[in-house]
């Protein structure tokens, strides 16, 4: 059976002499593992389309669970990431997050679109990478079913004055109210940005202003929330922190 689908290549692993095993986020089938035979040969027609962090139209041959790339053409290569080690490292982290939070054979258009928008913004240097990263992380958690409840303080019910987010249960508290679990400090602007990220239309996800300490708080809280909720480490995040110029 042949199937043509648009797909974002999240990960490529070299296999045998010149094959690639890919993890892709496809439009039609969600997360898939596909084999690209001979993709590492110079003469290969699928070499460009099966590179990590490439959005491509792939013609797959096979059936459930066992797919091979028959043909591929690049839709968007995110070229701006290739020569910039920091942007490439962050893009790879986005890919690892998408792999961790997407589901096999379950299409999720919003999640794919989020990945594409974040990589596009990063490769075109449209916003501060810290802002792209925080918005990507928090929005991804919302799409994957881990949306925090940001409506008001979980203890007193009021709008929190010096808010903090409970990383385990995804709730906000006032600094002075009794809280449970590990909390990350926010401030009013960082909380407003979180609310925006959770609700904004996909195309305007990064269109919020936040800087200085508020952006630092948002960044720390978004990352900590994702790590706490997924209960795992991301090798690409550790690598990003090593190469990031601060």
Site residues, Zn ion (CB under 5 A): 153, 155-156, 174, 177
DSSP character string of 178-211: ---S-EEE--HHHHHHHHHHHHS-GGGTT-----
In this structure, the dihedral spanned by the alpha carbons of residues 42, 44, 50 and 51, taken in order and rounded to 10 degrees, is 10
Residues 189, 70: Cα–Cα separation, whole Å: 49
Task: Reduce the DSSP state of residue 127 to 3 states and report it.
Answer: coil
How, if at all, do strands 66-76 and 163-166 pair?
A: unpaired
Task: Name which of 47 and 155 has its Cβ closer to Zn ion.
Answer: 155
Task: Reduce the DSSP state of residue 234 to 3 states and report it.
Answer: coil
Task: Name which of 85 and 177 has its Cβ closer to Zn ion.
Answer: 177
Query: What's the min distance (Å) between Cβ of 14 and Zn ion?
Result: 53
Task: Name which of 14 and 158 has its Cβ closer to Zn ion.
Answer: 158
Residue closest to Zn ion, measured at CB: 153
Share in percent of the chain as helix, strand, coil (round to 5): 40, 25, 35
Our CA angle for 26, 113, 219, nearest 5°, is 120
Query: What's the min distance (Å) between Cβ of 152 and Zn ion?
Result: 8
Query: What's the min distance (Å) between Cβ of 124 and Zn ion?
Result: 41
Task: Name which of 21 and 192 has its Cβ closer to Zn ion.
Answer: 192
**Lookup result for tokens 């990064």:** 206
Task: Name which of 137 and 187 has its Cβ closer to Zn ion.
Answer: 187
Query: What's the min distance (Å) between Cβ of 149 and Zn ion?
Result: 13
Both tokens of 65, joined, read 């669970």
Task: Name which of 74 and 155 has its Cβ closer to Zn ion.
Answer: 155
Query: What's the min distance (Å) between Cβ of 167 and Zn ion?
Result: 17
Query: What's the min distance (Å) between Cβ of 208 and Zn ion?
Result: 25
């Amino acid at each position: 059976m042949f199937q043509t689908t648009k797909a974002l290549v999240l990960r490529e692993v070299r296999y045998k002499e010149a094959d690639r095993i890919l993890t892709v986020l496809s439009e039609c089938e969600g997360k898939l593992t596909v084999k690209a035979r001979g993709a590492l040969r110079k003469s290969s027609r699928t070499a460009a389309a099966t590179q990590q962090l490439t959005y491509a139209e792939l013609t797959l041959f096979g059936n459930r669970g066992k797919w091979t790339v028959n043909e591929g053409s690049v839709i968007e290569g995110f070229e701006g990431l290739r020569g910039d080690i920091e942007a490439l490292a962050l893009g790879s982290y986005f890919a690892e997050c998408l792999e961790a939070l997407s589901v096999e054979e379950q299409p999720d258009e919003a999640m794919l679109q989020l990945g594409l928008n974040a990589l596009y913004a990063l490769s075109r240097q449209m916003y501060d990478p810290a802002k792209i990263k925080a918005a990507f992380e928090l929005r991804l958690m919302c799409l994957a079913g881990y949306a925090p409840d940001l409506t008001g303080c979980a203890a007193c019910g009021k709008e929190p004055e010096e808010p903090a987010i409970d990383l385990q249960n995804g709730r906000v508290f006032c600094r002075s109210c009794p809280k449970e679990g590990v909390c990350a400090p926010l401030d009013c602007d960082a909380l407003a940005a979180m609310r925006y990220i959770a609700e904004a239309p996909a195309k305007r996800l990064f269109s919020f202003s936040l800087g200085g300490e508020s952006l630092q708080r948002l960044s720390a809280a978004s990352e900590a929330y994702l790590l706490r909720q997924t209960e795992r480490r991301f090798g690409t995040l550790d690598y990003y922190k090593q190469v990031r110029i601060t």
